[in-house]
Amino acid sequence: MMDIIDSCIFCKITRKEDQKTELLYDDERVSVFRDIRPATPHHYLVASKEHIPDAKHLNPEHSGLVEHMVSVGKGVMATQSGGTSDIRLGFHWPPFHTISHLHLHVISSTNQMGWIAKGIFMPNSYWFVTPDYVLQRLKKAKD
């Protein structure tokens, strides 16, 4: 059974209860929509339908979800922007996130990012980690 929090805006979005948010993709595990404060013209969020506070709360059984989020994010980016050659994917690491609901940032083209965005979305910093980092962490937790 999936956890859902009624007061969580991302839970509302993934349940299609927020009329202001256009879903670019939706399946039984994730929904994709535009970031409301985009770092580039193509900045999307892949949010899990299950309410998981953040990437640090994932367990080894969530590896498939993370892989699915990456695959869906790349697919949406390819459709929306025409490619995935200059793409940045990542999760904000607690406590450095503003929405406590698991979501993957999918950003392109990184050369369009301003210097503040480059800092906010710096891969494998203390505050923003790549999907590979998360998957390696889950693998270590399983072993």
Strands 42-48 vs 23-26: parallel, antiparallel or unpaired: unpaired
101 given a catalytic annotation? no
List the chain domain ranges: 9-142
> Are the C-beta atoms of 58 and 67 separated by less than 8 Å?
no
Q: What is the pLDDT of residues 13-31, one digit of tens each?
A: 999 999 999 999 999 999 9
**DSSP conformational letter for 23:** E
SS3 71: helix
Answer yes or no: CATH 3.30.428.10 is held by domain 9-142.
yes
Among residues 51, 62, 101, 103, the one annotated as catalytic is: 103
Q: How many residues does the chain have?
A: 143
CB 92 within 8 A of CB 127: yes
Query: Please, which pLDDT band fits residue 95 given cuts at 50, 70 and 90?
Result: confident
pTM above 0.75, yes or no: yes
Task: Give, rounded to a whole angstrom, the gap between the first and last alpha carbons of the chain.
Answer: 26
Predicted pLDDT of residue 1:
45
